[in-house]
Structure 1
Amino acid sequence: MRGFSAGGGELVFSFAGIATAVLDDQGRVSRWSEAAAGLLGLTAGEVCGRPVRDLLAGECHRLTVGAGIPDSGRVLLRHRSGDTVDITFRVLRTEPAAEALVLLAPTHQVSHWEQGANVLRALLSQDRVGIGMHDTDLNVMWTNITSGMFGGTVLPEGSRLKDVLSPDEAEAAETALRRVLETGEPLIGKDLRVRSPRAPDRRLALSLSAFRVEDAHGDPAGVVAMFTDTPEQQRARHRMDLLHEAASRLGSSLDVVRTSEDLVGLLVPSLADMGWVELAEAVLEGDEPPKGTGAGELSLRRVAAAAEGVPGSATLLRPGDPVPRLPHSPELWEFQHGRAVIVDREKAAVVLGDEAHLALFVPDDGHSGIWAPLYARGLVLGSVTLWRTGREDPFEPDDAELLAEIASRAALSVDNARRYTREHRVALALQQRLLPAATTDTPAAETTGMYLPAGGGGAGISGDWYDVIPLPSFRLALVAGDVVGHGLNATAAMGSLRTAVRTLADLELDPTELLTHLDDLVQRLSDGADAESLVGATCLYAVYDPVTHRCAVACAGHPPPVVIRPDGTTHVIHLSPGPPLGVGGMPFESVTADLEPGSVLALYTDGLIERTDGDVDAGLRWLTEHLAAAYDPGRPLGDTGRALLAGLGDDPPRDDIALLLARTRAVPERSTASWEFPADPAVVAEARRAAARQLEQWGLEEMAFTTELIVSELVTNAVRYAGGPVGLRLICEDVLVCEVTDPSNTQPRLRRAGWTDEGGRGLFLVAQLATRWGSRYSPRGKTIWVEQSLAPAPVDLSVLV
């Protein structure tokens, strides 16, 4: 029999295999269906009007409706062929009770139906197997899924999966069901992650199987979906998920404390209600913990803790607290040899030894715990402890194995972080020892330097440096450099370059010449070196003269300096940048800038201006703006530098930063005097008299004798060996400087004259009278300079004899 739904879709009612007959009140057959005729091979004409007992095989009682035909039963009927047919029947009474409808079916078929019904009934009654019948539009037609299954997810009739699941989950599930509906191929065991309405932050792992249902014509009528959830599957997936998350989360930081926090955050609440991590004191310092088997040798400190919905016990150790010495026990021995230990409250009391320790290590409601070592390379770096308080099920050996595996991975991450901490500490200490004093105060300038290492587990200490080098005649060399690379190799290379710059600076070379020599040095250091030992660097070298207020600057691939004028405005000294050190084959050029006294010259490394977007020009604009905002003429330079670095924000820099600020000074005009003489021996006396008069004006008459001797010797040598013009300059600040300039580039040499020699004692005499002396060169000749202390020590002239 067929009917039609309101939408026009055909609905088929299937009674295949069921025969019908109608009996009157005398037990005669009054109606006989085609199915009944097929069942016994007898037509309606042959059966109707005859008593039903004639159809029975063997003897039977007279059966009439009034005589009480049973409502159901099993009987043998005679087939036309003479064989018997085992039939199961059911009688449906009518009102008034004149006739009865009898349903007949082969007994074997009824048994099959009953078995199928029993199987379906048993399947639908399972609380871990959810079944849903979906129509061709994937609407739910019926389901056994209730609110007590799968974390509270309910599928009411007429709903869709997208009504109860997240869009991503629903799309994945419905795509799979639609493929089954279209292809007819069953789906077996597709993993689904379903968000529970009761706990949206947690997901359930379900297995989806599905098969297509067809109508009597073989057309798709819908799809049956089966959702299964077994504890074993859940535990296996949970274990794999934890291991996968451990692999992705642990080791992302090179800080031992942060790694410990990641570990306890991974395990709580996934595996326990409460947990903490303790590390050896030596590990926190970057050192290896001692190898020991005694309980007191652990020397642990709690560094991280977490609890999920559990009020922490007031007596428990807090992060930062040292762990007291524990009594020796078999459990502790197992722990120190890398094995996880499961304990309950009673066992913990035995292991810990007394109630005071129990209060420090066991939460109030803790009933099951695991203690696992962070064990790497045969060393116990620390421990991780988990407790269950709200959950009723205790830890099992599988949980201990899982924690041991995760703790093993965490131990390697902690050990890597420990090694990084040690290298970082050593490199930072070396870097700080190699850098000059943070502040200097000279007649040329007051300076302050700052070094900020890279942080956040990044590349770490590199070869950024700055230097302040006092030069003769009150000049001052300012240096900023950056060695390519990070770690101890870069720090060592920085130390070599800084030493080289100081050595070359003592030669009083022009900035371009100094960088040329430094470039040659870097090339020689890199010849034959392996990849890790290759040296590459940038450098900026500036020389400020407080007498002329001029600053000569040259750079090798380094960012340009920034000047803050006394009025607070800023400008960049634009340079023609040469190649980085070690490239070779390219010239360096210098630029000379006039600096007003009270100006601040800022030298820095690229970590200060290379922002996360990599826009150096934007970083340079940021620097000039923030320098102007941070600068105040009355503010100490250190405060200005700290205010500038504070503008970088709370995030640690991605690269090291070196910053050098120099506030320039000027030697007053009254403190300098200069003269120029022709190359005539007669001018020697004139030069001596001029120097004596100037010393008298400065109130330094007591220095006249030694100064006249120095002037006499230097001017005489210039006139005799170099020609004219000969320049003489005196500068008086914290020391007295005498300079003699001539057009020759001949190097003056100090020698000891023999007792019979008539000459050769002049420069030796100068060296004995002076605190120090030297020479420097320019395109127009050389300058010999001599420094004397304003409170000179007595000179023993007997050495000249």
Structure 2
Amino acid sequence: MDTDTDVFLRRLAHELRPRADESVEVMLRRMRGELPELWQCEDIAALAERETAGHVATFLDVLEHGPDATAAATAAAGPDGTAHGTEDGTAGRVPSEALEVGRRFARRGVPVTKLLRAFRLGHLSLLELIQAEAGRLTSDPELVNEATLRLLETAFAYVDRGSEEVVAAYQEERDRRLQRRLMLTNEANRRIGTTLDTARTAEELAEVGTDEFADLVVVDLLETVLRGNGTCRPADTPLLRRIARRSVLDDSAGPASAAGHTHTYPEGTDPARVLATGRPLLGHADSPDGHAGAAASGNGAHAPADPGLHSMLLVPLQARGCPLGLARFYRRRTAVPFDEDDLMLAQEIASTAAVYIDNARRYSQERLTALTLQRSLLPRRAVDHSAVETASRYLPSGSRSGVGGDWYDVVPLSGARVALVVGDVVGRGLHASATMGRLRTAVRAFADIDLMPDELLTHLDDVIIRLQREEELDGVETATCLYAIYDPVSRTCSLASAGHVPPAVVTPAAADGGSPAHRSVHFPDVPIGPPLGLGGLPFETCQLELPEGSLLALHTDGLIESRTRDVDAARDLLGAVLARAPESLEETCDRLLSALLPSRPSDDVALLVARTRALDPCHVSTLDLPCDPAAVAGARVHASERLAGWGLEEAAFATELMVSELVTNAVRYGRSPIQLRMILQDTLTLEVSDGSSTAPHLRRARNTDEGGRGLFLIAQLAERWGTRHTREGKVIWAEQCLPGTRDAGRGARGARGVGGLRGGRGAEG
């Protein structure tokens, strides 16, 4: 019976072979009907037809030639270098097309269960065809039964072996692609986003994309994104800028619009649809530049497309739900076209890059805003003051942490004095810049009431503590500040520090021909108090006597702190540069920055350099007065004589009247010692000091009042007036323009009259 069955099976194979194509069509028709989704891909559909024909031919060979032929086939190596078949020689060699179908299913991400179902369904159809043919060839039920059993045995062995090989090919391809995808994704995470620069991040995307993935990558960003106008939904024909283009081919290949040029994608083209919908596209690159249209910058149409580019991926760049631009990937040198798995990989890379691009854009926007705010709050030009000559610099940091809160200021004070301020708010960004603006305003307000440096820092400390409470900050907000007051009359500098580095002091060279190299540079031993914002700790004022022409270099710690240099070495270098400082303060600032900061600083830097001046003793006149009403007449005579000596007789009437009122108030409501001081510079300043801490205030006298009009007269005659407190008492001062500038001063006073009135504080008797 075995011999009869073998003969019958060979007869079946012989009868079916001429109709193999018909059998293949029947099998494919059934599989298309039950698994239509597998035939949506053209490459798989074409390969599946050859695979089915191979399975039919292999199975008929098994039936026709028997185990001996199968064993010979088993010894034959397949396309992958391995032998196919089973040990008993009953299962034929699986066609190479079947293994390739398994690999393509893996590339498409089709589940392996659908692959196995298609494999079993095809062989079931083949068995049904063979069984139907067996019933047509013989009516012997026993022979048909034996043939059927033999067919089932052979088919099961073939399907089992074939399934193992196809699944192995599927798994191998899937693992290989997953490993490749993981490696490229890791490379993208490692190499993209190394800087907070939008253009550089786009270039990194192009570099990663052309590393064994695409032959050409082009990155375009929306112009609105680059201009900082937000990331709203793009218009129908948005304007884009070519940010990056990288190719492993000749420069002539692919989109020819150069980096930096602007262009648009006409409505209805694939790139325009991808931008509008946010959905990626896998397609052919028959005419990649045909989508781009004419360049908006006037460069004309793009160059003709490279005919060698055969596959294209269009991937939108989106971050946080907002469109940023478009990345295009092309292949020419690589023969295998992009597939769905490549599209997913490109989406992952583009998504990573989009987040970093958006971070860079946001950082650039915030940095620009903070820097603009910072510069708007700093002095815009050097202050022209008779007490000092100044020059200053502000350098924002080059790090990712953003703009800090460094600041400097020069504040004119009464009595020809000037305040020099430098400070640093701990923190970065807009909040630090805004806090810096608040502190600078507070310093000017406290300077307006002529507080001593330690008292001013105490009030500034309270300001920061109140800000912490009002804003309910999580951490402690702190700042450092150095406040110095220079008096050109006494040539003394009073300064106090709240956690800030002391200034460098440069005394001028000796008058006997000393060279700049002999200038003395030292860092005064200033008592450094705690940073502002801690509260409850005292500050201390120290005084220095400075020769005329001395240099004061106030700076923040960013000038001398560095990761590559010791602070003491930086301070020595600072002193060496100042010892040989040129006459120009602007050039001195440039030399300091060049020597101490050869590269972009890692922290913000504020630098203020001041050269002191001394007031000519002939321009200062003092008179000690007794606490006696009769002293008023002597004070008026002294003022008149002093004005005559200065050639300012035209100012005698107003000056004598103000002296009379100021001395009268001091005698009547103050106490000894009383002193009149007159200072001549670009203005004429009158000062009357006494030992009382009670300050006057401006009030409106009634018609029946006999007094109370003195300060009102002073406010009308003076350009500015006010009160400052000292350790010994108080000083009431009044400034008036010199006769040569009186008209200009009167106009200025008209504009600042309210400010002059606001200067008066206290009580007038």
TM-score by length of 2: 0.70
The answer (yes or no) to whether the contact 1:327–1:352 under 8 Å persists in 2 is: no
**Partners in 1 of 2:489 and 2:683 — Cα distance?**
14
- Mapping for residues 182-221 of structure 1, pairs under 5 Å: none
**Partners in 2 of 1:387 and 1:703 — Cα distance?**
85
Matched residue, 1:681: 629
- Mapping for residues 543-562 of structure 1, pairs under 5 Å: 543-562=485-504
The answer (yes or no) to whether the contact 1:286–1:420 under 8 Å persists in 2 is: no
**Over residues 392-430 of structure 1, what are the superposed CA-to-partner deviations in whole Å (9 max), with x where a residue is unaligned?**
333233222211121122212222222222222221121
**Which sits farther off after the overlay, 515-524 or 505-514?**
515-524
Matched residue, 1:386: 329
**Partners in 2 of 1:691 and 1:358 — Cα distance?**
84
Residue among 695, 698, 721 paired with 1:750: 698
**Over residues 31-82 of structure 1, what are the superposed CA-to-partner deviations in whole Å (9 max), with x where a residue is unaligned?**
xxxxxxxxxxxxxxxxxxxxxxxxxxxxxxxxxxxxxxxxxxxxxxxxxxxx
* Matched letter for residue 661 of structure 1: V
- Mapping for residues 617-766 of structure 1, pairs under 5 Å: 617-628=568-579, 631-633=581-583, 635=584, 637-649=585-597, 651-766=599-714
Cα gap change, 1:488 to 1:360, in 2 (>3 Å): farther
Residue among 251, 254, 259 paired with 2:193: 251
Matched residue, 2:244: 304
Matched residue, 2:563: 612
SS of structure 2 residue aligned to 1:667: coil
The gaps in structure 2 that reach 5 residues or longer are 1-68, 84-170, 510-515, 751-765
SS of structure 2 residue aligned to 1:384: strand
Residue among 448, 463, 471 paired with 2:405: 463
* Runs of 4+ that moved beyond 6 A: 114-121, 354-358
Matched residue, 1:487: 429
**Over residues 696-749 of structure 1, what are the superposed CA-to-partner deviations in whole Å (9 max), with x where a residue is unaligned?**
111110001111111122222222332333211111111100111212212122
**Which sits farther off after the overlay, 662-671 or 544-553?**
662-671
The answer (yes or no) to whether the contact 2:274–2:315 under 8 Å persists in 1 is: no
How much does 1:685 deviate? Answer: 1.8
Cα gap change, 1:595 to 1:309, in 2 (>3 Å): farther
The answer (yes or no) to whether the contact 2:254–2:309 under 8 Å persists in 1 is: no
**Which sits farther off after the overlay, 304-313 or 413-422?**
304-313
The answer (yes or no) to whether the contact 2:289–2:303 under 8 Å persists in 1 is: no
Alpha-carbon RMSD: 3.2
SS of structure 2 residue aligned to 1:477: strand
How much does 1:516 deviate? Answer: 0.9
Matched, 1:321 2:321: no
Higher helix share: 2
Matched residue, 1:94: none
* Matched letter for residue 379 of structure 1: C
* Matched letter for residue 235 of structure 1: R
Cα gap change, 1:725 to 1:232, in 2 (>3 Å): closer
Cα gap change, 1:584 to 1:351, in 2 (>3 Å): closer
**Partners in 2 of 1:673 and 1:361 — Cα distance?**
87
Cα gap change, 1:607 to 1:747, in 2 (>3 Å): same
Matched residue, 1:576: 527
The answer (yes or no) to whether the contact 1:273–1:310 under 8 Å persists in 2 is: no
**Over residues 359-393 of structure 1, what are the superposed CA-to-partner deviations in whole Å (9 max), with x where a residue is unaligned?**
44845753433222102344320111223343333
Residue among 279, 303, 307 paired with 2:221: 279
**Over residues 276-313 of structure 1, what are the superposed CA-to-partner deviations in whole Å (9 max), with x where a residue is unaligned?**
3221122223332341351x22x111122223353345
Matched residue, 2:279: 339
Matched, 1:433 2:376: yes
**Over residues 208-245 of structure 1, what are the superposed CA-to-partner deviations in whole Å (9 max), with x where a residue is unaligned?**
xxxxxxxxxxxxxxxxxxxxx97655433221111112
SS of structure 1 residue aligned to 2:231: coil
**Over residues 650-681 of structure 1, what are the superposed CA-to-partner deviations in whole Å (9 max), with x where a residue is unaligned?**
64322222222222222222221222222233
The answer (yes or no) to whether the contact 1:489–1:533 under 8 Å persists in 2 is: no
Matched residue, 2:33: none
Matched residue, 1:446: 389
Matched residue, 1:351: 291
Matched residue, 1:598: 549
How much does 1:345 deviate? Answer: 4.0
The answer (yes or no) to whether the contact 1:327–1:351 under 8 Å persists in 2 is: no
* Matched letter for residue 573 of structure 1: P
- Mapping for residues 35-114 of structure 1, pairs under 5 Å: none
The answer (yes or no) to whether the contact 2:271–2:314 under 8 Å persists in 1 is: no
SS of structure 2 residue aligned to 1:440: coil
Cα gap change, 1:408 to 1:767, in 2 (>3 Å): same
**Partners in 2 of 1:716 and 1:128 — Cα distance?**
118
Cα gap change, 1:283 to 1:744, in 2 (>3 Å): same
**Over residues 550-583 of structure 1, what are the superposed CA-to-partner deviations in whole Å (9 max), with x where a residue is unaligned?**
1111010011111233344422122110001111
How much does 1:595 deviate? Answer: 2.3
* Matched letter for residue 347 of structure 2: A
Cα gap change, 1:579 to 1:363, in 2 (>3 Å): farther
**Count of residue correspondences:** 579
Residue among 260, 263, 268 paired with 2:202: 260
Matched residue, 1:368: 311
**Partners in 2 of 1:688 and 1:595 — Cα distance?**
34
The gaps in structure 1 that reach 5 residues or longer are 1-113, 130-228, 797-801
Cα gap change, 1:289 to 1:514, in 2 (>3 Å): same
* Matched letter for residue 679 of structure 1: C
Matched residue, 1:37: none
- Greater C-alpha Rg: 1
SS of structure 2 residue aligned to 1:332: helix
* Matched letter for residue 646 of structure 1: S
How much does 1:120 deviate? Answer: 9.4
**Partners in 1 of 2:652 and 2:230 — Cα distance?**
66
The answer (yes or no) to whether the contact 2:286–2:307 under 8 Å persists in 1 is: no
The answer (yes or no) to whether the contact 2:242–2:259 under 8 Å persists in 1 is: yes
Residue among 395, 400, 403 paired with 2:346: 403
Cα gap change, 1:755 to 1:361, in 2 (>3 Å): farther
**Partners in 2 of 1:679 and 1:364 — Cα distance?**
104
How much does 1:790 deviate? Answer: 0.7
The answer (yes or no) to whether the contact 1:489–1:532 under 8 Å persists in 2 is: no
* Matched letter for residue 666 of structure 1: A
Cα gap change, 1:331 to 1:754, in 2 (>3 Å): closer
**Partners in 1 of 2:598 and 2:474 — Cα distance?**
32
Matched residue, 2:438: 496
SS of structure 2 residue aligned to 1:691: helix
The answer (yes or no) to whether the contact 1:315–1:360 under 8 Å persists in 2 is: yes
SS of structure 2 residue aligned to 1:485: coil
The answer (yes or no) to whether the contact 2:255–2:305 under 8 Å persists in 1 is: no
Matched residue, 2:183: 241
Higher strand share: 1
How much does 1:246 deviate? Answer: 1.8
Matched residue, 1:214: none
How much does 1:260 deviate? Answer: 1.2
* Matched letter for residue 552 of structure 2: L
Cα gap change, 1:358 to 1:731, in 2 (>3 Å): closer
Cα gap change, 1:252 to 1:120, in 2 (>3 Å): farther
**Partners in 1 of 2:718 and 2:343 — Cα distance?**
79
The answer (yes or no) to whether the contact 1:604–1:658 under 8 Å persists in 2 is: yes
Cα gap change, 1:230 to 1:311, in 2 (>3 Å): farther
**Over residues 582-636 of structure 1, what are the superposed CA-to-partner deviations in whole Å (9 max), with x where a residue is unaligned?**
112221111212223332212111222221158433333333334445x201x2x
SS of structure 2 residue aligned to 1:441: coil
Matched, 1:524 2:474: no
